[in-house]
Amino acid sequence: MTFLIDANVIVYAAVPSRYREACLEALEAVAEGRADGRVSTAILEEIWHIERSGRAGTIDGLARRAYRLFTPLLPVSDEIVARALELDAPRLGGNDRIHVATALVNDIGTILSADADFEQVRALRRVDPLNDIERSRLLQR
């Protein structure tokens, strides 16, 4: 099953927290080709901003390594922007709308994310990295 991987999963794989091992497990599954997790240009841009800000500590090189792991990235196209603008999710921010639309336009029905805001969108299923059962299911092709 193809799924979208949110920026927080990649950042949490790089910083000490209760999420770290679960997020690293997801990245390892993608690296080995056991799981079909995808990242978009918008998600990679977020990781880069977080890295460059320095406010999530020293995570130098994270965006470059994430790129190497996830290329080819899903593009954010005109169609995706149009879909994001029409999305019926009043409390969802612009960035998250783009991610939801990226998933929907690419027929992706699941996002791996620590952000519960995605649960506002009926068409998309959020899997929390800490949910061992759902994460394990997701990481099996």
Partner 1 sequence: MLTERLQVLMSRTQRRRVEAEARRRGMSVGALIREAVDARAQTVPVAQRRSAVDAIRALAGGRYLAPSALERLVDAERETPLRGLQRRPRR
Does residue 61 touch partner 1 according to CB under 8 A? yes
73-102 positions binding partner 1, by CB under 8 A: 75, 93, 95-96
Looking at this protein, which amino acid is placed at residue 8? N
Whether the CB-CB separation of 35 and 141 falls below 8 Å is answered with yes
Backbone φ, ψ for residue 102 (5° rounding): -60, -45
Stretch that binds partner 1, among 26-34, 78-86, 97-105, 133-141 (CB under 8 A): 26-34
Looking at this protein, which amino acid is placed at residue 23? C
Please provide the size of the chain in residues: 141
Residue by residue, DSSP assigns 7-54 as HHHHHHTTSSSTTHHHHHHHHHHHHTTSSEEE-BHHHHHHHHHHHHH-
Whether the CB-CB separation of 29 and 35 falls below 8 Å is answered with yes
Does residue 12 touch partner 1 according to CB under 8 A? yes
| Nearer of residues 72 and 90 to partner 1, judged by Cβ | 72
Among 1, 58, 82, 85, binds partner 1 (CB under 8 A): 58
Among 69, 81, 87, 130, binds partner 1 (CB under 8 A): 69
**Interaction site with partner 1 (CB under 8 A):** 7-8, 10-17, 19, 24, 27-28, 30-33, 46, 49-50, 52-53, 55-62, 65-66, 68-69, 71-72, 75, 93, 95-96, 113-117
